[in-house]
Amino acid sequence: MYKRLSSILFPIVTIVLIGALYWGYQENQEKNSILIKAENTYQRSFHNLSYHLDQLHNELGNTLAVNSTSQNFHRKCLVNVWRITSEAQSEINQLPLTLMPFHKTEKFLANIASFSYQTAIRDMTQEPMTPEEMKTLKALYKHSEQIASEIRGVQDKVIDNHLRWMDVEVAMASEDSVRDNAIIDGFKLVDEQVSEYEDVDFGPSSTDLYNQHTVKQLSGKHASREDVVKKARQFFRLNDNDVQVVENGKGTEYQSYSLTTEKNGSLIQMDYTTKGAYLIYFMNNREIGDARLNMEQAKAKATEFLEQHDYKQMEPVNFDQYENVSTITFVSKKNNVLMMPEKLSVRVALDNGEVTGLNASEFVYERKDRTWEPPDLTREQAEKKLNEQFKVLDATLVLIEDELKTDRLCYQFFGKINGSTYRIYIDSHTGEEVSIENVKMTEA
């Protein structure tokens, strides 16, 4: 009996074993294939990075080599610097450097890209490069050579010793690793050198792109927990509701208070600034029923809400709808000019018109006294700068920030061309096209 049973089971077990071995082999092959593809991607990105850093150094040298009055060539070279730096940044993002100390180098490259782009897009015939900018270019030329040289050294080690980027990923992920990997050491050395570059002044306009909103920009006194709770109770008409407060970023320039409470069974979340106790955000997470209001009714509810809470002279400029919620963007209006940087968005539930959210961060931090010169061009003169096929539906004066964070008084023309709807901004003094926005169907 046992002999007969074994004669039946043995072939089955053998087949199962062979199947398991084959399955394991296939899994191992697929794993190796994925690892090889990942390694190839890392190697390609790394060698491209080394090549583009060499190119960056050469292009900066070209910018310095020509006559200081060669504005057209300066513009061409700086556009190339911006393009090459952007490609280098893209390649860095494809490498497993998340846990590696390389953020200073990444920021340095981002500043180079910003500096070259902002310098290149201006009219150099009117604003040629300044001595300070030429000094910055010389410093960048010197430092880019050093960075390129160090990365080339790492590249030589990778090639000579057949180093793998997968080993870097494993080493970075392992907390117990000594991290004596040649690639890690090379990138760490580059980052340490970049931190010592104190002779590079990218200028305020470049730095502004990376500045975040801080409490230093705000007026008013430092608010205590009790102050913001009192403000929240007044704003949301809370009686004896328990309000929990968490202080964020204590001791930093980004300090704020986060508050949570319940009202009518719904959770309400709020953020207040520590300086001045300004409400910058709130969300009522209640369940929203079927939509009963249209766009005009939602806009009326949002306008009424802002007026009740002392947000004066606000004008709706954008409208968006998702499922049963409308989000309407408002901006300040001063002397019949729309202040586009001073904006906030109001979230309206379409079942009953209740305002269930507010995002006023930009309104709070960008609110300031702004002055401007009266336009030199009439609306009709500015409209002649548009494409002849652009059908204007509406026009208004607005104040916007351009790419250099400079206030520009513009005519905003709302209209259609090629089957799409756009907002085109024409400088009211020069007639230059400053910006263009594609308008979504819900906004139109």
Residue range 71-116, pLDDT digits in tens? 788 888 888 888 888 888 888 887 776 656 677 788 888 888 888 8
Q: Which residues of the chain, if any, have pLDDT below 50?
A: 176-179, 205-211
CA dist., res. 19 & res. 7, Å (int): 19
Distance CA(363)–CA(343), nearest Å, equals 5
Q: How far apart are CA 316 and CA 395, in angstroms?
A: 14
Q: Could you tell me the CA-to-CA distances from 289 to 269, 342, 349 in Å, in that order?
A: 20, 32, 8
Q: Rounded CA gap, 136 and 207, in Å?
A: 14
State how far Cα 105 lies from the chain centre: 18
Looking at residue 327, its pLDDT comes to: 92
409 touches 337 (CB < 8 A) = yes
Helix intervals (H) in 122-224: 131-160, 165-173, 182-194, 204-208
DSSP secondary structure letter of residue 275: B
Q: Which two tokens stand for residue 159?
A: 């090639």
* Contact between residue 53 and residue 105 where contact means Cβ atoms under 8 Å apart: no
Give the separation between CA 341 and CA 63, rounded to whole angstroms.
Answer: 35
Q: According to the model, what pLDDT value does residue 2 have?
A: 54
In 3D space, the residue among 352, 310, 309, 350 whose CA is nearest the CA of residue 327 turns out to be: 350
Q: Mutual orientation of helices 131-160 and 182-194 as an angle, nearest 10°?
A: 170
Look up residue 127 and give its two tokens.
């604003």
Beta strands in 31-180 (DSSP E): none
**Structure-token pair, residue 33:** 């294939």
Q: Provide the pLDDT for residue 6.
A: 59
Burial class of residue 142 (count of CB atoms within 10 Å of its CB; 0-12, 13-18, 19+): middle
What are the backbone angles phi and psi of residue 399, rounded to the nearest 5°? -110, 120
Residue 102: per-residue pLDDT: 74
Q: pLDDT value at position 109?
A: 84
45 vs 440: CA distance, rounded Å: 37
Q: What pLDDT score was predicted for residue 205?
A: 46
Q: Supply the pLDDT for residue 343.
A: 93
| Whole-number Å distance between alpha carbons of 278 and 251 | 18
> Which of 234, 416, 214, 216 is closest to 310 using CA atoms?
234
Amino acid at 163: L
State how far the Cα of 383 lies from the Cα of 388, in Å rounded to an integer.
9
Q: Are strands 314-322 and 325-334 parallel, antiparallel or unpaired?
A: antiparallel
pTM for the full predicted model: 0.62
SS (H, E, C) 213-268: CCHHHCCCCECCHHHHHHHHHHHHCCCCCCCEEEEECCCCCCCEEEEEEEECCEEE
Confidence at residue 92, expressed as pLDDT on a 0 to 100 scale: 81
pLDDT for 208 equals 47
Please report, as a single letter, which amino acid is at residue 52: H
